[in-house]
């Protein structure tokens, strides 16, 4: 199976997180964009400050590579106004996909109204600008029951407020890849969590992020019904290899 068109090749580390200078980290970003263009991946997923650079490189290469970026990453707690402001800037800069971190802490604390409102407004701004919108629920921070409930909540907000032909442009996404778990437990997509998401987010699509570390992992996720896979080792996976990368 050619998995390249399922892969969102991802580099989301800041310079400090990577232990690099700003210039060194920018070089890593440039190499990631170049690789995604050459390999023919679906999308390059980068931080908002790199979207303009990616747009220029992709245009110069006459490539069809899509640009994705993250919104309110990685905590998701900045509030609706901040999310919308960041999304607007990403759209202006040329992003194709907006991967919002859902305020899962608010959800866990019972502030369902806030979560519904941010999903509604974030999805509205994305779809109004013909963008793909993904909602990161951070499965490692949730119980199985909460994964089911939050996936269903996102689905219900979309079904209640948008047209059926727009559903394919909205995803529920498993993880940021940056959540710190105890005892080295998985912090991203696992088969059981993805199955729960698929069953409860449908007809919305699901993106598996974090924890997909091999070609076999990727093809299993695709077989289950996942439409996108986020990974920082896209080339290794596409070529049939394995990676120890956490994301």
> Residues with catalytic annotation?
99, 173, 207
Tokens, residue 63? 């490539």
Pair 29, 11: CB distance under 8 Å: yes
CA distance 82 to 77: 9
Residue 122: both structure tokens together: 């974030």
Cα–Cα dist 14/205, whole Å: 28
Distances (CA, A) of 149 to 109, 156, 167, 168, 197: 13, 10, 18, 20, 9
From the list 108, 33, 37, the residue with the least C-alpha distance to 69 is: 33
């Amino acid at each position: 199976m050619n998995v390249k068109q399922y892969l969102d090749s991802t580099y989301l580390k800041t310079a400090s997180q990577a232990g690099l200078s700003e210039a060194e980290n920018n070089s890593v970003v440039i190499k990631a964009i170049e690789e995604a263009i050459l390999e023919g991946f679906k999308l390059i997923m980068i931080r908002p400050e790199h979207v303009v650079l990616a747009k220029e490189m992709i245009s110069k290469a006459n490539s069809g590579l899509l640009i994705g970026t993250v919104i309110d990453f990685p905590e998701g707690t900045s509030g609706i106004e901040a999310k919308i402001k960041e999304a607007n800037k990403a759209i202006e800069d040329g992003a194709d996909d907006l991967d919002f971190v859902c305020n899962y802490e608010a959800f866990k604390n019972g502030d369902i109204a806030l979560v519904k409102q941010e999903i509604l407004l974030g999805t509205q701004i994305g779809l109004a600008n013909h963008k793909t919108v993904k909602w990161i629920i951070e499965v490692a921070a949730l119980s199985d029951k909460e994964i089911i409930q939050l996936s269903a909540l996102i689905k219900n907000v979309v079904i209640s407020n948008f047209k059926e032909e727009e559903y394919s442009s909205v995803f529920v996404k498993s993880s940021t890849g940056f959540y710190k778990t105890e005892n080295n437990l998985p912090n991203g997509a696992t088969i059981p969590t993805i199955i729960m998401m698929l069953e409860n987010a449908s007809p919305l699509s699901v993106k598996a992020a974090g924890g997909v570390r091999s070609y076999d992992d990727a093809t299993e996720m695709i077989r289950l019904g996942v439409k996108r896979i986020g990974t920082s080792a896209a080339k290794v996976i596409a070529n049939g290899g394995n990676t120890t990368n956490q994301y």
